[in-house]
Amino acid sequence: MQFTLQAQDSGSNARAGLIKTAHGEIQTPIFMPVGTVGSVKAVQVTDLAQDVKAQIILGNTYHLYLRPGLDVIKAAGGIQKFSAWNRPMLTDSGGFQVYSLSGTRKIHAEHGVEFRSHIDGSKHLFTPEKVMDIERVIGADIMMAFDECTPYPCEYKYAKASMEMTHAWLDRCVKRFVETEPVYGYEQALFPIVQGSTYRDLRRISAEKVASVEVAGGCAIGGLSVGEPKEDMYELTELVCGILPKGKPRYLMGVGTPENILEGISQGVDMFDCVMPTRNGRNAMLFTKNGIMNMKNKKWAEDFSPIEEDGASYVDRLYTKAYLRHLFHSQEYLAAMVASLHNLAFYLWLVGEARKHILQGDFSVWKASMVGKVMQRL
C-alpha cells in the first residue's frame, strides 16, 4: 500500500491524499461504508459503486469468522470475490465486537479474548496471532491490529492496563504479520490502533507506540465515539494526529455524524467509518446538506417535492418526501433501501467536497459554513 500526501489546508490540519492498494485507489479524506458481514445493509454493490461512489468498505473479522467461516471465504478466493466487491476493503480486527460482548467474554492479557458466539453460544479464543491469520484468509487490503476498546467512563488504572495490553498484543500482531504471507498473492497493509480512553497522557504514549511501528501502512485512532463528550473526542483526535506520522493515512474509527467528520478532517484525519448513515437511515433519519429530516414526521405527509433536489443519489430526485414517509409507515423494505442509499451518497459527497475545498485552499471557510447547516433539524 502506498500513501501520497497531496495537499494541506493552510487554515487547519486538514489534508488531501491518495492511497494506492491492490484493488484500486482511494482519495482522502474518505468515508467507508460499513459492510460488517461482507455486505452494506440494504445496499447492492452496484449501487454502492456507481451511485454512492464508495471507494472502500469495511468488513468485520469477528462476524466473518463466525459466518460464513474461513473455509467458505478461502474457497471463494477472498472476501472481495465472495462479495462481488472489486474495490478496496478493510477488516476491523473484531476487538470492538468482542468488547461489546462484555457478558460473554473473558480477557486474558497473556493469551487473548475468550468469547461465546452470539449465533450459537460456541466458545472461541481470539489471540493476536489468530486474528492476523483470520485477516489474511479474509483477504482485505487493510488489516487492523487486535486491540481492546475500553468503555466510557473508564478508570485511569483500567485504561492504562488495557492500553499496555493492547501494545503487547500489537507487538505480537506485527510479528505474525511480518512472518506470514498474503493468502491470495496481493499486498495487505497493517494498521495499529491508538487507545488510552480519554486520558491525554495515555493517548500520547499510545500514539508514540503506534507511530514507531515501521511496517504499519497507516495508523488508527480507536476507543473514541463510545459515549464521551464530543469536545473530548476532538481534543484527543487533535493530540494524537499531532504525533502520528504525516506520511501515513490516519483512520478515526467509528466516527460519526457529519459534524464529527468535518471536525475530524480539520484535525488531520484521513479515513472514517460509521454505521450511522445506514442504521439511522433504516430508522427514518436522513442527513442532507441543509440538515436532518425525520421521515416519519407528519410534516412530510403531503410534501411531494423530491427527497433532496440537489442530492447526491438518484433516489433523491426519483422519490418524494411524502412517498418515502409512506414507505416507512407501511414498513416497506424499500424505505430502508432508499434511506440508506441517500445517506451513504450524502456522506461520500461530504468528504468529496471537503477534499475539493482542501485542494482549492478554502476548506476552513467552507467547513465553517457547513457545520451549522448539516446538524440542524428540519
Asked, for residue 224, whether it belongs to a domain, the answer is yes
Asked, for residue 206, whether it belongs to a domain, the answer is yes
Report the DSSP beta bridge partners of residue 30: 271
C-alpha separations of 202 from 156, 209, 305, 320, 322 in Å: 9, 11, 51, 50, 50
Asked, for residue 136, whether it belongs to a domain, the answer is yes
pLDDT at 102: 67
Is 273 a catalytic site residue? yes
**N-terminal to C-terminal alpha carbon distance within the chain:** 42
pLDDT at 99: 64
Domain count, the chain: 1
pLDDT at 109: 77
Q: Which of 9, 147, 273, 316 is catalytic?
A: 273
pLDDT digits (tens, 9 = 90+) for 75-98: 999 999 999 999 999 999 987 776
Asked, for residue 235, whether it belongs to a domain, the answer is yes
For residue 185, the enclosing domain spans 2-274
Q: What is the mean pLDDT of the chain?
A: 96
All three cell numbers of 190: 497493517
pLDDT digits (tens, 9 = 90+) for 16-74: 999 999 999 999 999 999 999 999 999 999 999 999 999 999 999 999 999 999 999 99
* 86 vs 187: CA distance, rounded Å: 15
Asked, for residue 352, whether it belongs to a domain, the answer is no
Low-confidence residues of the chain: pLDDT under 50: none
Report the DSSP beta bridge partners of residue 8: 15
Phi and psi, residue 57, nearest 5°: -125, 165
Residue 247 sits in a domain whose CATH number is 3.20.20.105
C-alpha separations of 353 from 28, 97, 237, 362 in Å: 11, 32, 21, 11
Is 171 a catalytic site residue? no
Q: Which of 51, 92, 141, 316 is catalytic?
A: 92
Q: How many CB atoms lie within 10 A of CB 185?
A: 9
Asked, for residue 267, whether it belongs to a domain, the answer is yes
Strands 291-294 and 285-288: antiparallel
H or E segment and range at residue 250: strand 250-252
All three cell numbers of 208: 508514540
Asked, for residue 251, whether it belongs to a domain, the answer is yes
Asked, for residue 289, whether it belongs to a domain, the answer is no
